[in-house]
Amino acid sequence: MENAAPAEGAAPAEAAEAAEAAVAGGGWRFLIQPRWLGWHALMVVSFWGMLWLGDWQFHRALAGNALSWAYTFEWPLFAGFAVVFWIKTIRDEFRIKRGEIPGGTYGEPEDLPFGVRAVQSGEGPADDEDEELSAYNAYLARLNAEVKQHGRWHGLR
Amino acid sequence: MTVVEAAVLRYRVMAYVTGVVLVVLCFVGIPLQVAGHPAVANNVGVVHGILYIIYLTFAWILSRKLQLANKPTVIMLLAGTVPVMTFIVERWVTRRFINPALAGQSAPAEPVRP
């Protein structure tokens, strides 16, 4: 966790605060990583977009399109879903960081090819028990990387 | 049936129901509407809207249970708006996330060669 370690030149108060946050596991700075900023932006745009669509349907409904009444209520509902889902997602992220719920988020290491996945410690055989399998998995990963490279190369040509 | 299995079942049912209704809307309703008979598209459209709300709820609950990252979660949620996509995404989610999760749940993962 790179945000847990305070910078060397930081004021003592700041360092203490950072250390406290690290102990509590309440580091919120992952939320301003570029990836998360992108998600925030997507959520804001889709929220206002859905409200705008609801407003548009409302005006169509007022103009006499009876079907639009259904969508007038549906779009704001979707916008509300987006907000609720987003708040819950971020709260869960904090809870994982605090260790209240187990982590191990699926879908994060997306560069791993299918069939090759990280094995949680404590489950299954330790790495040294099965060198052959890990060598095989490394071989698969290497093959996958090579194949991806090929695709890119041919794409360029 | 565990909590995750129940969530998977609910998601799967809604993925297929919503998917079928959306296919009817797009490949029967819209052509009829273009031909001047908008009744099917109107009714099926509203039905799909309601089903999609339920689909969203169940898909999101499953994504929380599986602790999916944001990207697969958003793909799952939006699949209900693209014709045929719920079927494809359901298969992808099953292979990529549900099966590994259920396998890890019931028994310690046995190293298996493909």
- For the record, the structure tokens of A152 come out as 């890119």
CB contact under 8 A, A105 and B72: no
Are residues B53 and A74, on separate chains, in Cβ contact within 8 Å? Answer: yes
What pLDDT score does A156 carry?
41
The secondary structure of A4-33 as a DSSP string is: TSPPTT--HHHHHHHHHHHHHT---GGGGS
**Residue A149: how many CB atoms within 10 A of its CB?**
10
Residue whose tokens read 């609720």? A84
Test mutation, B8, B70, B71, B113, chain A, max A CBs within 10 A:
B70
CA distance A20 to A15: 8
Considering only CB atoms, which chain A residues are within 8 Å of B49? 70-71, 74
Instruction: Determine the residue among B3, B67, B71 to mutate to test chain A binding: the one whose Cβ has the most chain A Cβ atoms within 10 Å.
Output: B67
pLDDT score of A48 more than 70: yes
**Are B45 and A67 an interchain contact pair (Cβ–Cβ within 8 Å)?**
yes
The whole-angstrom distance between A98's CA and the closest CA on chain B is 15
What pLDDT was estimated at residue A135? 77
Nearest CA of chain A to the CA of B75: how many Å?
12
Of the candidates A38, A35, A1, the one whose C-alpha atom is nearest the C-alpha of residue A18 is A1
Tens of pLDDT, residues A99-137: 777 665 555 544 444 555 555 544 444 445 567 777 777
Residue ranges per domain, chain A?
Answer: 12-98, 110-157
Token readout for B35 is: 């031909």
CB pair distance less than 8 Å for A123 and B108: yes
Q: Is pLDDT of A155 > 50? A: no
- DSSP states along chain A: -TTTSPPTT--HHHHHHHHHHHHHT---GGGGSHHHHHHHHHHHHHHHHHHHHHHHHHHHHHTT-TTHHHHHHHHHHHHHHHHHHHHHHHHHHHHHHHTSS----BTS-TTSPTT--PPPTTSS--GGGGHHHHHHHHHHHHHHHHHHHHHHHHHH-
| A79 within 8 A of A54, measured Cβ to Cβ | yes
Asked whether this complex has an ipTM greater than 0.90, the answer is: no
In angstroms, rounded to a whole number, what is the distance separating the alpha carbons of residues B103 and A139? Answer: 24
d(CA B78, CA B82): 7
**Are B109 and A124 contacting, i.e. CB atoms less than 8 angstroms apart?**
yes
Residue B97: count of CB within 10 angstroms of its CB: 21
Q: A27: pLDDT confidence band, cut at 50, 70 and 90? A: confident
Q: What is the pLDDT of residue B61?
A: 92
Distance CA A59, CA A51 (A): 13
Mark yes or no for CB contact A107/B60 under 8 Å: no
The H-or-E segment that residue B90 falls in is helix B85-93
Name the residue with higher pLDDT: B44 or A103: B44
Nearest to B64 among A92, A114, A130 (CB): A92
Q: Mean pLDDT across the stretch B94-100?
A: 91
Nearest chain A Cα distance for residue B53, angstroms? 8
- CA separation for the pair A90, A31 (Å, rounded): 8
User: Are A127 and A134 in contact, with CB atoms under 8 Å apart?
Assistant: yes
What contacts B11, CB < 8 A, 6 or more positions away? Answer: B58, B59, B61, B62, B90
Say yes or no for a CB contact (<8 Å) between A124 and B45: no
